[in-house]
Amino acid sequence: MKKKLLLTGTASLFLLAGCMPSLNQTEEEVIVVEETEEEEEQEYVITPTIDSPDSYYRNVLEDGTYQRSEARGSVADAMNNRVDIEHFELGLMEIASGIYDQENYYFQEGTHLSSDLINSWLRRFEPEQSDEEADEDGDVEDEEAAEEAVEIDKMAGLNPPLADEGDVDNAEDLEDWEVMEERMRSNPLVLSNIKEQNYYVGSEDEGVRLGGMVIGISIRSVYYFRTENDEGGIFNHEEPVDEEFALEYAEEQAQEILTRLRNQEELADVPVTFAVFREEPRGSIVPGEFRQMASVGEGETEIGGWEAISETNLVFPSSEAREQQPQLSENFLSFRDDLEDFFDMPLGIVGKGRYKDQSLDEFKIEINLQSHGKAEIIALTQFISSRVGQAFQMQAPVYIYIDSVEGREAVVIQYPDEDPFMHVYR
């Protein structure tokens, strides 16, 4: 089979050409690798490098088509808010960029972990399931049963099993649904999502091959669950999940996931990086944070150790932001006052600062308008562009989004030591 690696001039899937300044793309290059196993010809297309302040991976397209993960969307509801879902995905790519350099590696959504498999992993572990195929001595009776036992083990849930009914205090005095509530509360579901990302390498000598994999593990900060009584009444509950316990549990399950990956022939030798993300409670306007990561080399079967990730999100204005970042808090309030004076009415303005290793990594401001005219939007955007550089003099990008009930109206972006970029949507 011939595999063609084609670098095209197609716009990057992660950037909107025309919305960013100084976009230059590379010339086309074709790499052909001869294989004889199949007669079909398959073409691998690599999206081009884009010259922009934001750095993204190029993508691997098969026969010119973007390859979507089968699991995309099928497990998203397990996470409690949209900002967590988005940051979880993009944050994994940021972590990957420190291991798989963007110059030589290409991104593709996960294709090895199906939606059925991931959903089965997110279920509770059921000990009796793994015992069904074994005899009293713990030996599997025959070859067919052995294969079935392996399949069951591969699909076994990774979340904690329900607490035993005998461990519930005063269970004899409780209704069945009350006992179930206590069993669920005692052993909350810890893992909320598992995401696979693949990173490919290509060369004239080696062709296109999987060069590395990133597995994201999301853990809950709050366990939300429901019970139903005998009359059909529904009761909603929530239980905080201890962070230290959840992180330790995620480490244990990462080792189990690695074992299962290594049992897949095509993944036996692929380097794997694990990253643990702790999501925020429902209703949070800022995303959760990555807490730790671990990398496993080619063919390795044990996770050697974990590295802490320092990431913090702050909301402006807030008491927490005033305490931790007093100067930026003051600058934000002054900027907000200037905008409200210009608009001659209160505005819904929220700032979100993301910190990595105690340094500001990016600052986002969202402005929500209730009523407006297009001329007002243009004037406000121009006014913001003239003020943002003075208001926020820092070595981090500032993104300002102007929204209305009709959707996004305008955006202003200020990169360090550069003139602001503005765009008004028509």
Tally of CA atoms within 13 A in the half-sphere of 254 that contains its CB: 30
* Least-confidence region, from 181-185, 194-198, 236-240, 252-256: 181-185
**Domain covering 313-424 in this structure, CATH number:** 3.30.300.190
Buried b (16+ CB within 10 A) or exposed e, 362-393: ebbbebebeeeeeeebeebbeebbebbeebbe
Q: Report the C-alpha gap between 216 and 198 in whole angstroms.
A: 11
Q: Report the C-alpha gap between 155 and 253 in whole angstroms.
A: 13
Average pLDDT over residues 72-87: 74
Count CB-CB contacts under 10 A for residue 347. Answer: 15
* pLDDT > 60? residue 181: yes
347, two tokens = 């505005």
Summarised one tens digit per residue, pLDDT across range 121-167 is: 999 998 765 554 444 444 555 666 555 555 557 789 999 999 888 78
* pLDDT > 80? residue 14: no
Contacts of 142 (CB under 8 A, 6+ apart): none
pLDDT band at 349 (very low <50, low <70, confident <90, very high): very high
Bigger pLDDT: 352 vs 33: 352
* pLDDT > 50? residue 211: yes
pLDDT band at 29 (very low <50, low <70, confident <90, very high): very low
User: What's the alpha-carbon Rg for the chain, to the nearest Å?
Assistant: 25
144, two tokens = 């067919």
What pLDDT is attached to residue 370?
80
What pLDDT is attached to residue 69?
74
* pLDDT > 60? residue 13: no
* Least-confidence region, from 5-9, 85-89, 150-154, 261-265: 5-9
Q: Where are the domains positioned within the chain?
A: 1-66, 67-122+157-309, 313-424
Q: Which of 19, 109, 4 is nearest to 57 (CA)?
A: 109
Bigger pLDDT: 41 vs 21: 41
What pLDDT is attached to residue 273?
98
Contacts of 405 (CB under 8 A, 6+ apart): 370
Tell me the Ramachandran region of residue 18: left when phi exceeds 0, alpha when psi lies from -120 to 50, beta otherwise: left
Q: Report the C-alpha gap between 304 and 273 in whole angstroms.
A: 12
Percent of the chain, pLDDT > 90?
58
* pLDDT > 70? residue 4: no
Check if the beta carbon of residue 1 is closer than 8 Å to that of residue 40: yes
Count CB-CB contacts under 10 A for residue 412. Answer: 25
What pLDDT is attached to residue 39?
42
What pLDDT is attached to residue 154?
78
What pLDDT is attached to residue 135?
45
Q: Report the C-alpha gap between 278 and 288 in whole angstroms.
A: 6
Check if the beta carbon of residue 315 is closer than 8 Å to that of residue 327: no
The amino acid occupying position 150 is V
What pLDDT is attached to residue 133?
46
Contacts of 1 (CB under 8 A, 6+ apart): 35, 36, 37, 38, 39, 40, 41, 42
Q: Which of 179, 217, 174 is nearest to 88 (CA)?
A: 217
- Give the CA angle between residues 11, 17, 21 to the nearest 5°: 130
Q: Report the C-alpha gap between 229 and 254 in whole angstroms.
A: 36
Contacts of 330 (CB under 8 A, 6+ apart): none
> What is the topology classification, in CATH, of domain 67-122+157-309?
sex pheromone staph- cam373 precursor fold (3.10.570)
What pLDDT is attached to residue 52?
62
Q: Please, what is the average pLDDT of the chain?
A: 83
What pLDDT is attached to residue 56?
79
What pLDDT is attached to residue 64?
66
Check if the beta carbon of residue 352 is closer than 8 Å to that of residue 366: yes
Summarised one tens digit per residue, pLDDT across range 361-381 is: 999 999 998 877 889 899 999
Check if the beta carbon of residue 290 is closer than 8 Å to that of residue 274: no
* pLDDT > 50? residue 16: no
* pLDDT > 80? residue 70: no
What pLDDT is attached to residue 91?
94
* Least-confidence region, from 64-68, 149-153, 414-418: 149-153
Beta strands (DSSP E) in 155-306 are 191-203, 207-219, 222-228, 234-240, 272-278, 289-296
Q: pTM value?
A: 0.80
Bigger pLDDT: 347 vs 96: 96
